[in-house]
Amino acid sequence: MQKHIHEHFGKIIALFSTMIMAQAISISASAQKNSTASSFPNPKNIIIMIGDGMGFNCVKAADYFYGPMQFESFPVKVAAATYPAKVGSYDDNDTSKLKWASGYNPALAWKDSGYLHKNFTESAAAATALATGRKTYNNVIGLSVKGDTLLNLCELAKSHGKSTGIITSVPFSHATPAGFVAHNKSRSNYSEIATDMLFKSRCDLIMGCGNPEFDDNGLKLSGAWKKSRYVADSMLWLSLKSGSGEQTSFVLKDKIYEVKDVSGDKIPDPWTVITSEKDFRKLMSGKAPKRVLGIPEVYSTLQQSRVFGKNETKDSPPFITPFNPNLPSLAEMVRGGLNVLDNNPKGFFVMIEGGAIDWANHDNQKGRMLEEMKSFSDAVDTVINWVNKYSNWNETLLIVTADHECGDLWGGNTFTPLADNGKNKLPGLKFNSKNHTNALVGVYAKGKGAEMYDLMAGETDPVRGLFIQNTAIPQLIFMMWGKPVTF
Ligand SMILES: [Zn+2]
């Protein structure tokens, strides 16, 4: 204990001297811009990986089933509070329907099993918090409680000339990736959000599901397909594919949309559209196109939404029903995505989401949750291997976290520890909810600037230990990278 206190004290002193130094530099060279930012660690690349709905006990369950996840041994481990600013439903005509949330009280959280079932966030408010550093109201994308447009990490990174992108195992216009790219009053406006992501954003890479030509088993739909909202519009989707790599303006509902310039040469940069497993694999090595829209041939998730085989129930272990064929894994998408993003000498920002962990938790599917944990953990390992081979931990920062807990997952009733039944054996698990909770989640950081997250942890939970606010994750990046330069 004493040693830890000393260590922490030492780190605080180090932070203060950095801050004083930063101030001294900015006074002595006030003409020099960005001197404060340059005094903080300044990672070239920042990668945020979000396990959607990945509470501490999802990690623990995966740990028991597969063995420890690599990210659990990262040098910086703290917890994070995920609550939003406001809960309730947004109504243009009656804003009083939104109520201020009540934060997170560590004493009550471990006393009353019902406490965490109230005032919890959903993925849109959580993504906005993680992307902009501001807590907001539930179901909103990239706007403040007052409705102001908030600067997100993709926009910040692009203003510094970096490449930016999102990769997810659920539709690309779903709440978490949308929160890092778009701005909209409601997460449910998928078509508007997808349109913004494709034509208003300057992202270099968008990868995720939502392919309207396929079902949840990855089977091609015959006849007319109706559900095209995740890619904005069915006609637009066909034009994007036929104009892949070339076309820069598109018609959508009688309006003309032009793609943005992502490299600063004032020339609009077309999307290269890939959908087949073969093209995803090809992207993993060799020369990559400048700007990629990768939509695998499946509708809502890569694997979690596939129909249950007759031997599988919600309580089954993972891998009972064979996987959908002809699809890339999240790890393969990540490998290809990094091949697109790493062409920029100024570096990149990317948000990678294991989006369907949450979907399995909502449906209280034990085995599917474990499958999604494996998929996410493999994606993290792919990033770690990429850093080791093509970058290093002195120029890249990797943060692995969750947007919220989901399912109130325990070994039995709330607060009952999970039973470890050994490797490849389903641990003793019980979902106590079909929705999110306000429980703390984990933050695991490694690389340039990771120690900043330890320093930010100023609150203590009796069980999870030191914790930060979810908003501190981007706030520290805003400090490290400095103000937006051109926007
Ligand atoms: Zn959810």
Per-chain residues with Cβ under 5 A from ion ligand 1: 358
C-alpha distances (whole Å) from 111 to each of 84, 95, 237, 306, 464 are 21, 33, 51, 38, 14
* Mean pLDDT computed over every residue of the chain: 92
Fold of 40-481: Alkaline Phosphatase, subunit A (3.40.720)
- Extract the tokens encoding 424: 């490849």
Q: Over the stretch 153-196, which tens digit does the pLDDT of each residue have?
A: 999 999 999 999 999 999 999 999 999 999 999 999 999 999 99
At residue 413, does pLDDT exceed 90?
yes
At residue 32, does pLDDT exceed 50?
no
The alpha carbon of 437 and the centre of ligand 1 are apart by a number of angstroms equal to 10
Q: Over the stretch 196-216, which tens digit does the pLDDT of each residue have?
A: 999 999 999 999 999 999 999
pTM to 2 decimal places: 0.92
Which DSSP helix (H) or strand (E) runs through 397? Answer: strand 396-402
Q: What is the pLDDT of residue 1?
A: 40
d(CA 236, CA 214): 16
The alpha carbon of 202 and the centre of ligand 1 are apart by a number of angstroms equal to 27
Q: How confident is the model at residue 458 (pLDDT cuts 50, 70, 90)?
A: very high
Q: Over the stretch 334-382, which tens digit does the pLDDT of each residue have?
A: 999 999 999 999 999 999 999 999 999 999 999 999 999 999 999 999 9
Q: How confident is the model at residue 28 (pLDDT cuts 50, 70, 90)?
A: very low
C-alpha distances (whole Å) from 131 to each of 38, 73, 240, 355, 411 are 21, 25, 27, 16, 33
Residues with Cβ < 8 Å from 177, sequence gap 6 or more? 127, 166, 168, 197, 206, 208, 351, 353, 355
Q: How confident is the model at residue 11 (pLDDT cuts 50, 70, 90)?
A: low
Query: CA neighbours within 13 Å on the CB side: how many for 232?
Result: 21
At residue 6, does pLDDT exceed 80?
no
The alpha carbon of 53 and the centre of ligand 1 are apart by a number of angstroms equal to 6
The alpha carbon of 480 and the centre of ligand 1 are apart by a number of angstroms equal to 30
Q: Over the stretch 107-118, which tens digit does the pLDDT of each residue have?
A: 999 999 899 999
Sheet containing 292-294: order of strands: 272-274, 292-294, 205-209, 163-171, 348-354, 45-51, 396-402, 441-447, 76-81, 465-469, 459-461
Burial of 247 (0-12, 13-18, 19+ CB in 10 A): middle
The alpha carbon of 361 and the centre of ligand 1 are apart by a number of angstroms equal to 8
List the chain domain ranges.
40-481
DSSP classification of residue 184:
B
At residue 35, does pLDDT exceed 60?
no
The alpha carbon of 213 and the centre of ligand 1 are apart by a number of angstroms equal to 25
The alpha carbon of 294 and the centre of ligand 1 are apart by a number of angstroms equal to 24
Q: Which conformational region is residue 185 in: left (phi greater than 0), alpha (psi within -120 to 50 degrees), or beta?
A: alpha
